[in-house]
Amino acid sequence: MLNCLPRLRCISFLYSFPELSNNIKQIHAQLITNGLKSPTFLAKLIEHYCGSPDLHIANNARLVFQYFDKPDLFLFNTLIRCVQPNDSILIFRDEFSRGLMFFDDYTYNFVLGACARYPSASTLWVGRQLHALIVKHGVGSNILVRTTKIYYYSRNKDIISARQVFDEMMMRSSVTWNAMITGYSSMKEENKKYAVNALSLFNDMLADDSGIKPTDTTVVAVLSAVSQMGLLETGACIHALAEKTVCTPEDDVFIGTGLVDMYSKCGCLDSALSVFWRMNQKNILTWTAMTTGLAIHGKGKQALEILYKMGDYGVKPNEATFTSFLSACCHGGLIEEGLQLFHEMKRTFSVTPQIQHYGCIVDLLGRAGKLKEAYEFIMWMPINPDVVTWRSLLGACKIHGDVVMGEKVGKFLLQLEECSRPELASKSEDYVALSNVYALAERWVDVEAVRKQMKAKSILNKAGSSAVQTVKMAIL
């Protein structure tokens, strides 16, 4: 019994004081000294190490896993679950290469989740290899693993594969439906047809005889799809459904924020403001959605008033808030409000402007026809302007017929692309933009010269496309 006392003290200390990261190493040493090799307690130690903001301390989590002569699957699963996504993928790859361990469904689920949280071309390839291993090792029937596959494919923009996994599932949970609906609604940058698919799948969920009910996550995802399509009546129906079956927007900050965003984008500002002010809790996304919605509809002064009230509620605007608001000012033609907010970003809100904020101001001035001011603003910028900033000015030159400045900016942009990013020099958009500026002034010789230059460099013009959609929804 006496020999157990040091162990019990270490265990009690580890569980009772999880915030004392400075003592983790001492606790680790005591566990080793007293010969405590229980995977349960060592897993807790791994969680503590991985939770440390100090990378050197976090890296010690691997030492805990390596404490055993033979790899322990439970500790390994804990390790890949707790470390950063990229590290999780690398650790799994190394252990898989050693071939000393048989993995279970938890292993594949955690690594797939890491691939989903760290989307890239490389993780898409890794995830597909994992999918093959899951099929090979016979763990594909696990509903949690299949749901994570849907989430992984959706995050990596392979929505077709995600839907294929979804359709192959005989049993689905609410998390499964949410993963697929969220996957569709998150594809808004690619094509609005996916928003239609999200609403259609939501209808299927309501009609499904398994008894699965929508959750707060479902409502947020569907509201996002409605916002993209501007379906006010459908959004109001979902609002009513949320009130009846999930919870009231006043008590759920995510549903409330989704409703504010939906009503704002559908043009119903009174309803958006009503939901906004009735919410018991508002986060940074809520304030951003409301101020952006007002700005988009030309209510710049009202948007600024709400933005300045954020501090009274203990919420501080961040870089994304200003990007969204300045972008809304561009589309709403709110020159004074946009410039005022830009100059107060650092002075009043202690937020240093980034390249995207400078780009918004260039776009704002360019849309208003203040091309000289926009050009001088670029020259005054304390950071180097990117190609997006110059393209914004070039587009404004075309709209307002300033051929002289358009030619100057267009030629500079082509030189910038070829010098700084040669891999992008083969793209057609900048050549076409410069050609259009010349065409606007009927300088056909220069137009032909640009086209010949494109032909000599084997640069092909990207074909345009359009789509017409008819949406008919019958929710509730």
> Do the domain assignments include residue 323?
no
In this structure, the answer to whether residues 4 and 81 fall within a common structural domain is yes
Q: What is the C-alpha end-to-end distance of the chain, expressed in Å?
A: 65
pLDDT band at 415 (very low <50, low <70, confident <90, very high): confident
> Do the domain assignments include residue 117?
yes
> Do the domain assignments include residue 294?
no
% of the chain residues with pLDDT over 90: 20
> Do the domain assignments include residue 89?
yes
> Do the domain assignments include residue 466?
no
pLDDT tens, residue by residue, 291-304: 888 888 888 788 88
In this structure, the answer to whether residues 8 and 98 fall within a common structural domain is yes
Final residue belonging to a domain, choices 251, 280, 309: 280
**Three-state SS string across the chain, please?**
CHHHHHHHHHHHHHHHCCCCHHHHHHHHHHHHHCCCCCHHHHHHHHHHHHCCCCHHHHCCHHHHHCCCCCCCHHHHHHHHHHCCHHHHHHHHHHHHHHCCCCCCHHHHHHHHHHHHHCCCHHHHHHHHHHHHHHHHCCCCCCHHHHHHHHHHHHHCCCHHHHHHHHHHCCCCCHHHHHHHHHHHHCCCCCCCHHHHHHHHHHHHHHHCCCCCCCCHHHHHHHHHHHHHHCCHHHHHHHHHHHHHHHCCCCCCHHHHHHHHHHHHHCCCHHHHHHHHHHCCCCCHHHHHHHHHHHHHCCCHHHHHHHHHCHHHHCCCCCHHHHHHHHHHHHHHCCHHHHHHHHHHHHHHHCCCCCHHHHHHHHHHHHHCCCHHHHHHHHHHCCCCCCHHHHHHHHHHHHHHCCHHHHHHHHHHHHHHHHHHCHHHCCCCHHHHHHHHHHHHCCCHHHHHHHHHHHHHCCCCCCCCCCCCCCCCCCCC
> Do the domain assignments include residue 10?
yes
pLDDT band at 96 (very low <50, low <70, confident <90, very high): confident
pTM of the shown model: 0.73
> Do the domain assignments include residue 80?
yes
Residue 19 pLDDT more than 50?
Answer: no
pLDDT band at 406 (very low <50, low <70, confident <90, very high): confident
Final residue belonging to a domain, choices 77, 104, 124: 124
| Residue 73, domain extent | 1-124
In this structure, the answer to whether residues 18 and 91 fall within a common structural domain is yes
In this structure, the answer to whether residues 119 and 197 fall within a common structural domain is no
In this structure, the answer to whether residues 98 and 195 fall within a common structural domain is no
In this structure, the answer to whether residues 117 and 8 fall within a common structural domain is yes
Mean pLDDT score across all residues of the chain = 79
Residue 206 pLDDT more than 80?
Answer: yes
% of the chain residues with pLDDT over 70: 77
Final residue belonging to a domain, choices 264, 280, 296: 280
In this structure, the answer to whether residues 186 and 259 fall within a common structural domain is yes
In this structure, the answer to whether residues 115 and 192 fall within a common structural domain is no
> Do the domain assignments include residue 81?
yes
The number of distinct structural domains making up the chain is 2
- What is d(CA 105, CA 13) in angstroms, rounded to the nearest whole number? 32
